[in-house]
Structure 1
Amino acid sequence: MAAHGTQRDDPAREVMAMLGDRWTSLILMVLAVGAWRHADLKRALAQLSAEQAISQRVLTMKLRALERNGFVLRHVTGDVPPKVSYSLSPLGLELAGEGRRMVDWANAREAAIRNARLAFDAMED
């Protein structure tokens, strides 16, 4: 385990925690199709998520964390008022691809996972 990070802010630990949270993976998948303005991204996430709509504050926090780690690029126009959009960096595109592979892996094994759950739940009764 030491080779993969023992400190809270080690990249391996932090990235895996981000991918496992409620919103980050979905944000990455949406941004993988192109740049989005904040309000449009918020609406898209609400339509795609089984969760309730993401709050403005949480979306901003997730985008900042992704930007801090080099996965998201923030673009600000010189317009008045300025327009802000978000897109994936090359590193973010790689991460989104890895996340997509994890989703595909789980989907391909859906029956096995459901059977394991049923067997486990039957033992609990």
Structure 2
Amino acid sequence: MTEEGTLAYGTNIDVRSAAGPVGAATPTCQLRDVLDRVGDKWSVLVMALLGDGPRRYSELQRGIEGISQRMLTLTLRSLERDGLVVRTVTPSSPPRVDYSLTPVGRTLSTEVGSLIRWAEAHRDYVAQSRLRYDEQ
């Protein structure tokens, strides 16, 4: 953050506008709401899997270690509500349900992919840094 109260890296978001009442519909609160959704660990992992193409619910659950059925359902509903994921039901017995990214979701998936590649490349560094810090 810069001294002027804006984010670094050339953005023009003035975080001082968040000084209003809790829950106020300021631009920063709205931005935080979107970032909370797309920055959530489960959302990131779902978006990464769907970046490879449509998936069934069971494929998503198998592909994300540690996610509960309830959390996957809540995450998919939230992503659908936000317009990032579309749920398609194919009538059959039992009904087939597929999840895929919307066009806007695909643009986010590209960014999520970069984040995941960064995390994979630096996870050992982060783990070692945590150990060093915890030893102090």
If the length of structure 1 is used for normalisation, what is the TM-score?
A: 0.72
CA displacement at 1:41 relative to structure 2:
1.1
How far, CA to CA, are the matches of 1:118 and 1:101 in structure 2? 26
Determine if the alignment matches structure 1 residue 90 to structure 2 residue 114: no
Q: Could you say what the CA RMSD is over the residues aligned between the two structures, in angstroms?
A: 2.7
Mind listing any 5+ residue stretches in structure 1 that lack a counterpart?
47-51
The count of corresponding residues between Structure 1 and Structure 2 is: 114
The farther-off stretch of 98-107 and 55-64 is 98-107
Query: Where do 1:1-125 residues align within 5 Å?
Result: 1=15, 2=17, 5-7=27-29, 10=30, 12-46=31-65, 52=66, 54-105=67-118, 125=136
Change (3 A) 1:83 1:102: same
How far, CA to CA, are the matches of 1:31 and 1:24 in structure 2? 10
Query: Highest Rg: 1 or 2?
Result: 2
> For 1:13-61, what per-residue CA distance to the aligned partner results, in whole angstroms no more than 9, with x for missing partners?
1231123323111110001111111112101112xxxxx2x11111000
Mind listing any 5+ residue stretches in structure 2 that lack a counterpart?
1-14, 19-25
> For 1:57-90, what per-residue CA distance to the aligned partner results, in whole angstroms no more than 9, with x for missing partners?
1100000000011110100012233211101111
Change (3 A) 1:121 1:5: farther
Question: Which runs of 4 or more aligned residues in structure 1 lie more than 4 Å from their structure 2 counterparts after TM superposition?
Answer: 105-122
Change (3 A) 1:44 1:102: closer
Between the two proteins, what is the percent identity of the paired residues?
Answer: 39
Partner secondary structure for residue 34 of structure 1 = coil
